Each structure stands twice: as structure tokens, then as C-alpha cells.
Structure 1
Amino acid sequence: MDTSNITIVTFQVFVRDFFPSALAFLMNREPEVVKNFLMKTLRLQSWEKRIDRFQLGAGVMPASFKVLHDPRRNTETLIADFGESAIGRVAPVDSGFWWIILLRAYTRSTGDSSLADTPECQKGIRLILTLCLSEGFDTFPTLLCADGCCMIDRRMGIYGYPIEIQALFFMALKCALALLKQDDKGKELVELITKRLQALSYHIRTYFWLDFRQLNDIYRYKTEEYSHTAVNKFNVMPDSLPDWVFDFMPNPGGYFIGNVSPSRMDFRWFCLGNCIAILSSLATPDQSDAIMDLLEARWEELVGEMPLKVCYPALETHEWRIITGCDPKNTRWSYHNGGSWPVLLWLLTAASIKTGRPHIAKRVIDLAETRLPNDNWPEYYDGKLGRYVGKQARKFQTWSVAGYLVAKMMLDDPSLLRIVALEEDRQMRPTLMRSSSWS
């Protein structure tokens, strides 16, 4: 059989999945790999993006791309996926944010701003942010998103204003401020970014934050309050508070809840959003400490025997059927429905170092080392404590290895944290007080 004309798919690269690998390359002083990735994905952004005759915004970054190798011609072709091949056909909202954050990490690591200063990169940043900062009907500074638009890439009830996207949005905006040129094209965008950051930080820090005091306030909310004097601004029904949250909330401790929208608060804990909030300084120093207090107080629930829960708790029974659409991959305590993901090691390690608690990082890394090599570096683990290798988990998963390597390198050399962490902006640190209509 003549196979000379067969085109072979060699591999597929996901933008978000590559991020921990990129950090590993940067920390190992191999920036050229990261530079090539940034430029390749930037070129894909310029492609025409259509799904069923509908054209996506110019700023959308691909979720992933395939590399097609033609052995006869010895050529490679990139095929981008902007959501038209994704499960559920959802465009990746987070890809553009990861790209901006990685460009800033590359610049910080190398000390070379020439890549970010190129007209191509400047245009790429502007396209992404123009898409996000466009005017609309929304009354909130947060981004309205569909289910499956981020790491939680299946239907999991995160539609609305998921904390993962809001934290990444905030971090990307701050990185963009450091990367954009103050020329005629960038000046107006910088002003928009600055205003949005102030509104976004206030909104998230105020309305997404949950601690013992705030939980007690919500428990005693009055409803159907009209006008600007309302205390219960989103008309959240106290009866919607889940039973588990009362036992889960320690004192002291707190976290950013999964979602806030009209008459709906998703009280689930999402690891990525809370860790990014710490790294980006979206969380105030007090809030960052409270997040780490919660993690230590609820170690068994959030870490268990294999770090680290992507969200807590899992959806079960009738609620699982309605919200996930009976998704067999997202059964309780599996995959994105309460599964444990080793890639999150680097995020927790970075957050631990930034908050001055490296002992937490060492504890989770020591725990992971007892399992990961022997289990052949699986994608995720199942079970309430993360005891079992995921029922559909791929082995030798690149970002599982990369997440571990980055965590180890940062713990050995905490100065590497500067590549990815952002310091607090004093101008964005107003006293955390609700408007005068709040008690």
C-alpha cells in the first residue's frame, strides 16, 4: 500500500494547556520555545473564524491547533480550532487572556520587551481587549460567558460570570497595561483598561467574596428590594443557600464564590479562579490570607489524597442531571465535577509562596510525589479524596508533568514567582466598603 500521500496528525496543542509548559521552559531558560508559540498562535488569531456561517470576533484566540505533517512534501500545516470542533461548540474565552499573561511572563523572564513591542503583538493585544471592553447592555463590569468557555470546558452550570474568567480577565488587563505602548492606538485603550480594572476589582472583591460574616448577612437577606437603596442588590433568595456551605465555611477563612448574577449565587469553590485572584492581586492581602486559611482548614475536602480539587463540592443526583445534561464524564467527583487535577499544583504553589506560606506548597508537592510517577502522570483523579486515577484520564499528560515541574522549581527558587505573579497596585486598593445602601 502506498502511504506517501497520507497526511498524519502529529499532535494537538491547547493554549491553556501549554501555559504551565511555557512557564517550565521560561524557568529553565529556554525562551525560544515560548516565543515561537506566542507568534504561531498570534498568526492564527488573524484567520477568518466562522461557525455555521457566523463570524466570530477578530480578537478571538484559538482554543487549540493541530499540526498536520505531510511526509511526502516534508511540510507542516497548522489547523486552528476556535470552537467549531470543540465539544459543545463553545469558543474559548480564556485563550486570549492566557496569551496576554504568557506574553508578559516571557517579557519578565527574559527582560526583553522587543517581542511585545512588535506591531503584531500590540495589535493582538488590542484586538483581544477591544473584544472584551466593547460597550453593551450589561450593568456589571464582569464578562458574561457561556458554559464550557474555560478549563471547565463542559456544561457545569458556570454560565454567567464564572470566577475563573473574571480573575483571568483582571490579570490580563493588568498585564496589558504593562505591555501596551502609550501611542495613539494604545492610549485610549489604556484609559479604558484603567477604568475597567477599578470597577472590576471593586465588584469582585465586594460581591463575589464570601466569609463567615458575609454568609451570615446573606442568610438574613430580605428580598424583592427595589431602587438603589436595596441591600440585597441581586435579589438572592436566602433559601437558595446550600446546606453544605454552612459547614464548609471556617472562621477565619473565605473565598471567591463561583458566580454572581441576578437571583443566583454559585457558592462552589473553584481552585483556578481563587489562585489566579491571589497571583494577580485581585484578592486583597487579607482576602489572600483568608483563601489560604480556608484551604488549610478544609484540607481533606480540597486536597485529600491527591492535589487538587478543580471545584468543590460535586454536583449529584437530580441537580447533576439538570445542570450537566447527564454528562457521563462529569459524574460526581470525576473530571470537572469535583475531580482532582495535578496541573493545579503550580497554581497553588505560586499562591502559597506569594502569601508567605511555602509549607503548604511543600505539603502538596510531597503528597503528589507519592502517586504521580507510579500512576504515569494521569490527567486527573476521581473520588471524594482523589484516590483513584480518573476513569477516562489520559496517561503521561504533558500539563500534569509541567504543573509539577513548575511547582518544584518555584519552591526551590521562590524568586521565579516574579515571572507570573503581579504585585498589588496601591491605586486600586480602595477601602472595601459597600455602597451607602449596604448596612
Structure 2
Amino acid sequence: MMSDGQEGLLRIALQFDKGGSYARGIVAGVGQYVRASSLDWRLQLITPAEAQMPGLVWDGCIGDFDNRPVFDALASHQKSVIAVASACSAAAQCPAQIPLVMSDNQAFIALACDHLMQRGLPHLAFYGRPRYVGMAWAEEREDAFRKQVGSMRMSTHVFSDGAMRDATTAQQIVLNDLARWLRAIPKPCGIVAVNDSSAQELLQACAAAGLSVPDEIAVVGIDNDEVAASLSRVEISSVVQDTERIGKIAAQMLHACLRRTGPMQTRVHVPPARLAVRASSMYLQGTNPLVTRARAFIVQFVGHGIKSDQVAHHVNVSRSTIERLFHQECGCSVHDEILRVRLDMAQHLLKGGKLSASEVAIRCGFRTLQYMHVVFKREVGCTPSEYQAQRSGHGVEQKLSAG
């Protein structure tokens, strides 16, 4: 270790799953701290197998406490180690001398529930995929939901209650059970999904059960998972984990340990960064059933270039009738609502940074790229390309050197 003011090149191991967005955000946060502090750290991502090799040489490590056997192998090296965990229950298991950074699942649930209540939804429910049974972070989120809803003296609706399902249950059986559960719970209902993969599954089940999203079932996921979002026709509202902040705090703790000044805290809970509000939770309280059906149709088919006449035809009323109802309920025309949903979808896709502006225009149902350009300049104040550069430019380039 280096004393204060004498820091040199240090080899820092980062033990996380390379493929997940959770891990990528943490690693990005570590990189941000290293660059901001002008540290000469050689960062190296190591696999679980490498972490357990006796010949591994490093000066400090930030590791995933959720993979306990691998983390214990790292801790046995008697070097400076910082633990990162997806559940606060890890605090009871992690040795007191090892600093620990934890995701605040209770805060995730509180943010999701508050959003659904503010939208005017009278009922709340919770869904977690059976494959997550027994996982600490999933159980912590479900328990937090029960406590949150209980404190509001509302009835609790949880899919797992009375359902004998686990990770071995066939997917179609789960979806059939889920559809039955969705039909039975009181509506309109806001459902908090344990993560975005569960939220995407909920939306599939709603489609199978003939339920409108978000007007009968509004959905909020957790983790802001781009993969799950890409699989869903309706964009998923999601609680965004502050993974970069987790990485920065872990790196700050490790820096203090390496300088022998000790971490400022040995147990830190990290709340969510924000709630990304999208179509799946945009419930409008007191909406006329015809407007409910029309809005659900718009959300589902906005990428097909639908027009106001098609919306009126879908709900089997005249164009003038649906326009009058939209002005009464939403304060806008059908065309304005189509454009709003189309623009929201385009902004979300542009922020992802994986599609060109031309591809986004096609996917969102704009007639041409030029038309999307005009709409963005008028409504957002910049071009689609400028918007994409502003929103995706914050991404951190991860410079991970070999050991």
C-alpha cells in the first residue's frame, strides 16, 4: 500500500459480471472516480475463475458480494477489498472490517409506489418472476412493497401469494397464471415489477388477457434494463439504479483504504437516481372508457404511422366524437396525443444511442426524417441529432488495462 502523497501505479481488480448493465454502470463509476482523482490505477476486470486463482496479483479490489464464494476468495488475499451488494441484507453477512456499498431497494419501491399513487391509481400490486424466488434483492423488494402498501392501509396484491411456482415452472404456465391473476385483481391497478424483465413479462400477460396498458394496468419496473425495454411494444417506466454512483463510492472507499486513512463509512446505502417515466405507467385518472381504449391503441401502434381516423375506427365512433372526448379528457386532439407518444418514444430511442436518427424516425412512425426534425425543433428546441448527442454523450469510456 502507498502512504498519503506517495501513490504510484496500483493494480485494481474489478470482479463483476461483464455482461450486465448493473455491472457496466458500476465499472463506469469507478472509471469516473479514477480519472477525476488523477489516480494511476490499472483497472482490470477479472472473471470468477480468475478471482479464485492463487497466482492473481493485485493491490486492491472491488467485488460483487452477491457472488459470495468468489468474493470470499478475493477477501482471503488479505488485500484492500470493497464489497458491492444488490441487497441491504448483505450488511448482516459481510464482515464488519470490509466496507460495503448496497442498493437501497426500499427506496426503489417507495419511488415506484409514489409515482403510481400520484397518477391516481386506487390499487397497487407487485409481480416478481418465479425464477427470482430466493434471491435476496428480489425478496427485499417484495418485502419493501408489502411494508409500503401496508403503511398506506391498502390491500396488498402480490402474484406469489398462493401460487406454487418456482424457477423450474414452465414459462407458459407462469404466463397463464399471471393472466388469471391480472384479470382477478381490482382495476385500475398500478403494478410494481421486481425488475424490468418481470415488467416485460407483465405486459405480455396483459396482452394475452386483453387488458389495456396503462389504463387498466399501469406498470413500473426497476433497473432501467435496455434489453427488456427493447423486447416490449409498450415502453416501460422504470426506477433507474444509480450504478455509477455506486462505483464512485466504492472507488472512493478503496482509495481511502489504500492510503490507510480508512473509508468515511463502512456501510453505505445508495438510493435510485430517478424514475424514467414512459408509456407503461401514464395512467389518466377518470378517463372515459373510449379514450382509454383509444390511448391504448395509440401506445401500441404509434410506430405504424397511425392517424386520427384509424383511432376513431378502432373504438367504433366518429372522428368528431373521439376528438371531442380527447379534448374533454386529455385537453388535446387525437393528433396531438399521437404526436406526444411518438415524440416520447423517439426521445427514449435516441437516448439509448444504438439507433441512427433515420432508424428512430422509421420505428416511431414519422413520415420522414425531415418531419421528425421539424417536430423536434418545435417541441424540444433542438434537432434529433443534437438531442442524441446531448443525452448519450455522458457515457463513460471504460479504459480497462490488462494486468
- State the TM-score, normalizing by the size of structure 1: 0.27
Higher RCO by CA contacts (8 Å cutoff, separation 6 or greater) = 2
User: Rg larger in 1 or in 2?
Assistant: 2
- State the TM-score, normalizing by the size of structure 2: 0.28
